Amino acid sequence: MTDTLGLLLGVKVLAANISDREGSKLLFSELLVKQPQMRLHVFADGGYKGKWEGWIKTNIGYTVEIVQRPDANTRGYWLPKNQELSEAQIKTFKGHREFIVIKKRWIVERSFAWCSFDRRLNREYDLLADTTEVFIMLSFIRRMIRQLAAFADQLAVDT
């Protein structure tokens, strides 16, 4: 989990038999213990809508905003007899959708892309989840150091 600047807040790697919803509850619970003073506004995918959203609000105390496509849950249309689907309706089906910019989604994709630059994280080699967590942390630490170095260089040029 990163903030909107791409700084790592927490990481949790779990077995495949644990759902993302349940795993995120573990991550948020750990984050609350480690950083109780932090108050976050969480942007979550449409898959987290419902009970998870309420759990985060009541148990963790963070605000949650579900971010998804406007046509995310369109599965079909009931039409009167002899009426054809409109072009707009056809475009709501998977395979026919146009690209839509989804608020804050690029932040998540950017963080995943940064991790993919590290060969160790590009393929899954580790037997232990803890090892993968450490390499994700190292990847983000390296990125933060590079950002700080670039900032320091810019300050030196400006002065």
Domain ranges of the chain: 20-158
pLDDT score for 32: 92
SS (H, E, C) the chain: CECCCCCECCCCCCCCCCCHHHHHHHHHHHHHHHCCCCCCEEEEEHHHCCHHHHHHHHHHCCEEEEECCCCCCCCCCCCCCCCCCCHHHHCCCCCCCCCCCCCCHHHHHHHHHHHHCCHHHHCCCCCCHHHHHHHHHHHHHHHHHHHHHHHHHHHHHHC
- Could you tell me the pTM of the whole model? 0.72
User: What is the tens place of the pLDDT at every residue in 79-128?
Assistant: 788 888 777 776 776 666 667 777 787 787 888 888 888 877 777 677 88
> What's residue 149's pLDDT?
93
Question: Would you say residue 159 has pLDDT above 90?
Answer: no
| 37-57 pLDDT, tens digit each | 988 899 888 888 889 999 999
pLDDT at 33: 92
Tens digit of each residue's pLDDT (9 = 90 or more) over 4-42: 887 888 899 888 899 989 999 999 999 999 988 988 899
